[in-house]
Amino acid sequence: MTDLLIITLLIVALFLLLGSGVWIGLALSGVAWIGMELFSARPAGDAMAVTIWGSSSSWTLTALPLFIWMGEILFRTRLSEDMFRGLAPWMNGLPGRLLHTNIIGCAIFAAVSGSSAATCATIGKMTLPELEQRGYPKRMVVGTLAGAGTLGLLIPPSIIMIVYGVAAEISIAQLFIAGVVPGLLLAGLFSGYVMLWALIHPGQIPAADSKSTFLQKLYASRSLIPVIALIGVVLGSIYAGIATATEAASIGVVGALVLSTLQGSMRWDTFRASLMGATRLYCMIALILAGASFLTLSMGYIGLPRHLAEFIASLGLPQWGLIIALAGFFIVMGCFLDGISIVVLTMGVILPTVTAAGIDLLWFGIFVVIVVEMAQITPPVGFNLFVLQGMTKLELPWIARAAMPMFLLMVLAVALIYLIPDLVTWLPHQMRATP
């Protein structure tokens, strides 16, 4: 049976399961089970049990519920309100106003978590209620959050960069440094789009609260100090080598609890609500992760990623054609697999072809991360879309349409780093040249 027919059958099965109201994680597991039963000799039941247990008991994932709980604490206490109160006077002068808090918040938190899901969930918990309460258009709020949440993969530290660095045998520290400028570039593109949209649709952006002098803005920014201090402690502990991401997440939770208690906004019912909210959201994400992990294993046994990668390698394309083909390949794979799984399953086949084409492996690593980011907001398995669906209860196709402009901006970012490769390589080379 051809790969195309297998892919078609699995897509139909996935949409039938999702359309019947089955939970997303169970639908992914169901498609994986069908694939293994029909197209693989490996017993599906045994594989499912081992894979789901392995993905659920990963120590690396411990950071995710902790960061989500930190976001719940910030959301349910005055800390998130303080962040908006401090940012509002500065954002009011920009077209789009507080829509930029989605992008700024995600860019900052991306440097803490290294996870797209944690970034999207944590910032979403703070910004979605605040922006909705102020009357900002829901499509722009959700779309910018879906796009900016993907910065968690690009702005270091990034788990997927570590996986790629091991696979490509290049310096992970160099990869981290290489991701800084492209991450800021992508955040700038998102903010630029918000400004352009706001200028075209001025009537849909709520009026500024009030005009402030520079001294008044500085005075209002005092409410940012607790949040900035919390972020500084979490970031500092990671970059100083004092704590891992998981330990830093624990520091973040403790810091959020201490700050909210000192502010007098932490009560027993608030504590319990934040803990239960984080538990429910993480359980939803963990079930999807378990299903995606089993689907990844199923795809690996069927051999679809390897076959498609070998097909691209056999085409003998020029460098630019290879980049376009690989971008399309990764986006298609991202519709069914998570980013780390894509790297693990395909790099062994693709890297020799990339090296033979004369492509810098450091540059290629950032290219892969950006394209995988694009897959985070493409259905049917765009993980950020699932996270936002769990938080907003909106339909998945609606969220995907809202995120489409962000997807196109990522395409533009890929074009820019291809045309100007120094956007990726200049900073690592400067750091390498520094004695």
Domain hosting 310: range is 23-34+43-59+283-433
pLDDT higher than threshold 80 for residue 275: yes
pLDDT higher than threshold 60 for residue 434: no
Same domain for 301 and 175, yes or no, is: no
Same domain for 187 and 331, yes or no, is: no
Question: Which tokens in the block code for residue 135?
Answer: 């009357």
Same domain for 349 and 410, yes or no, is: yes
* Residue where a domain stops, chosen among 269, 304, 332: 269
Same domain for 54 and 120, yes or no, is: no
Note the pLDDT tens digit of each residue in 105-155. Answer: 788 777 665 667 777 877 787 778 878 888 888 889 889 998 888 887 787
Same domain for 224 and 302, yes or no, is: no
Enter the pTM of the model: 0.71
Mean pLDDT calculated for residue range 29-35:
84
**Please, what is the angle between helix 422-433 and helix 180-200, to 10°?**
140
Residue 234 belongs to some domain of the structure: yes
Cβ atoms of residues 256 and 70 within 8 Å: yes
Cα separation, 174 vs 424, whole angstroms:
10
Burial class (CB in 10 A: 0-12, 13-18, 19+), 386: buried
Same domain for 158 and 47, yes or no, is: no
Same domain for 207 and 70, yes or no, is: yes
Residue 3 belongs to some domain of the structure: no
* Residue where a domain stops, chosen among 243, 269, 295: 269
Same domain for 50 and 86, yes or no, is: no
Residue 18 belongs to some domain of the structure: no
- State the total domains in the chain: 2
Cα separation, 270 vs 276, whole angstroms:
10
pLDDT higher than threshold 50 for residue 177: yes
Same domain for 212 and 330, yes or no, is: no
Same domain for 69 and 210, yes or no, is: yes
Whether the upstream peptide bond of residue 157 has omega within 30° of 0, thus cis, is yes
* Structure confidence at residue 65 as a pLDDT band (50, 70, 90): confident
pLDDT higher than threshold 60 for residue 279: yes
Note the pLDDT tens digit of each residue in 199-254. Answer: 888 877 877 666 667 777 777 677 777 777 887 787 677 667 677 767 878 888 89
Residue 7 belongs to some domain of the structure: no
Provide CB contacts within 8 A for 331, sequence distance 6+: 371, 374, 375, 378
* Residue where a domain stops, chosen among 244, 269, 294: 269
Same domain for 210 and 169, yes or no, is: yes
Report the run of H or E that residue 155 belongs to, with start and end: none
Same domain for 233 and 351, yes or no, is: no
